[in-house]
């Protein structure tokens, strides 16, 4: 896989030829859709939110070289269709030759960092629709946290509606990841009850002047049958809490993937930093759930 020379070339490229970096992103070989119409995406937008922890290790994702090695390994496995990331991650992977033939989902990211006094200020801080279209990306992704006790959520809803409109005008599918959220003991907690997830879906689905290009990125919660009965929008499942046992996690994904409207899986830390340390085994297990026939 990756070696010290690969990273040396990456550092040199960033320092001496930054325009080449963009060329590598835009000129990559595009993905070919999978025959079954499903997608399996590896998520890597956590570091840009300052979320570096996995289980009890609060700095698990701090080593960028180790993260890139794990990402490149995951992307090399059969059944892995692409990656979701912020510009720094996407550009690193492009320079390392790991994006050829892969779907790229550009993260618009969020300004509200975990634990910050401004945590609910979810203005977009990474890709915008214009930059993703110019790079030839396949999807945009935006987080949508709605806090009924925080008036700042109105601005978040308006900005997200604008992003939906802009993406639709450009013909770019946009994944919305909605949550009903609230303050608890000085921190923001997403409500993962079934009713709250359904409410978040209703709010997200109505944003913008058209929903024709809107997808949903949803957590796997109790009563997923009710959740999926609340929307006709194409849906991908997000990976969830990496602290849950792997067997339990895979079983819940497998059940949810069988529901009408579910089109795939978007997972990051759970697979990149599995409890047993075997990235290949973790990724292959998830890939077999999304693409059971290979």
Task: Give the three-class secondary structure for 182.
Answer: strand
Nearest to 143 by CA among 184, 80, 188, 98: 188
How many independent structural domains does the chain possess?
1
Least confident of 58-62, 90-94, 240-244, 247-251: 240-244
Assess contact for 165 and 222: CB atoms under 8 A: no
- In this prediction, residue 239 carries a pLDDT of 85
What mean pLDDT comes out for the span 180-196?
A: 93
What mean pLDDT comes out for the span 48-70?
A: 93
User: What's the DSSP call for residue 259?
Assistant: S
49: which 2 tokens? 């939110």
Assess contact for 120 and 140: CB atoms under 8 A: no
- In this prediction, residue 116 carries a pLDDT of 83
Using the structure block, give the residue that is written with the tokens 């923001």: 188
Quickly state the pLDDT bin for 117 (edges 50, 70, 90). Answer: confident
149 pLDDT above the threshold of 80: yes
- In this prediction, residue 256 carries a pLDDT of 97
Residue bearing the bigger pLDDT, 113 or 190: 190
What mean pLDDT comes out for the span 13-29?
A: 96
What mean pLDDT comes out for the span 154-158?
A: 95
Quickly state the pLDDT bin for 200 (edges 50, 70, 90). Answer: very high
Quickly state the pLDDT bin for 241 (edges 50, 70, 90). Answer: low
Range of the domain at 73: 4-290
Strand pairing category for 214-218 and 174-184: parallel
- In this prediction, residue 143 carries a pLDDT of 96
Q: How far is CA 194 from CA 186, 228, 234, in A?
A: 24, 11, 18
Residue 220 sits in a domain whose CATH number is 3.20.20.70
- In this prediction, residue 259 carries a pLDDT of 98
- Condensed to tens digits (0 to 9), the pLDDT of residues 80-97 reads 999 999 999 999 999 999
Residue 226 sits at φ, ψ, to 5 deg, of: -65, -40
Q: Report pTM.
A: 0.95
Quickly state the pLDDT bin for 16 (edges 50, 70, 90). Answer: very high
- Condensed to tens digits (0 to 9), the pLDDT of residues 173-185 reads 999 999 999 988 8
Nearest to 51 by CA among 252, 294, 272, 250: 272
Report the DSSP beta bridge partners of residue 175: 141, 215
- In this prediction, residue 242 carries a pLDDT of 66
- In this prediction, residue 88 carries a pLDDT of 97
Query: Cα(55)–Cα(164) distance, rounded to whole angstroms?
Result: 33
């Amino acid at each position: 896989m990756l070696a010290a020379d690969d990273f040396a070339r990456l550092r040199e490229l960033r320092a001496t030829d930054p325009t080449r970096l963009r060329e590598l992103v835009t000129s990559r070989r595009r993905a070919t859709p999978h025959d079954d119409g499903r997608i399996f995406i590896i998520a890597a937008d956590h570091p840009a939110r300052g979320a570096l922890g996995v289980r009890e290790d609060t700095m698990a994702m701090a080593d960028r070289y180790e993260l890139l090695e794990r990402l490149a390994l995951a992307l090399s496995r059969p059944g892995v269709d692409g990656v979701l990331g912020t510009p720094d991650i996407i550009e690193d992977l492009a320079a390392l030759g790991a994006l050829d033939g892969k779907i790229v989902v550009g993260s618009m990211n969020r300004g509200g960092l975990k634990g910050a006094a401004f945590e609910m200020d979810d203005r977009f801080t990474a890709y915008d629709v214009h930059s993703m279209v110019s790079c030839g990306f396949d999807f945009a992704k935006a987080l949508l946290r709605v806090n009924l006790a925080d008036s700042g959520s109105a601005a978040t809803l308006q900005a997200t509606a604008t992003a939906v409109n802009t993406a639709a005008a450009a013909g770019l599918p946009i994944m919305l990841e909605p949550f009903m959220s609230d303050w608890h003991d000085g921190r923001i907690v997403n409500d993962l009850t079934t009713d709250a997830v359904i409410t978040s879906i209703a709010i997200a689905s109505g944003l913008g002047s058209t929903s024709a290009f809107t997808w949903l990125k949803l957590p796997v919660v109790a009563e997923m049958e009710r959740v999926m009965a609340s929307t006709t929008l194409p849906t991908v499942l997000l990976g969830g809490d990496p602290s849950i046992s792997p067997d339990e996690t895979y079983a819940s994904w497998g059940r949810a993937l069988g529901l009408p409207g579910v089109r795939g899986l978007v997972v990051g830390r759970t697979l990149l930093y599995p409890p047993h340390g075997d990235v290949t085994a973790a990724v292959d297990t998830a890939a077999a759930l999304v693409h059971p026939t290979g």
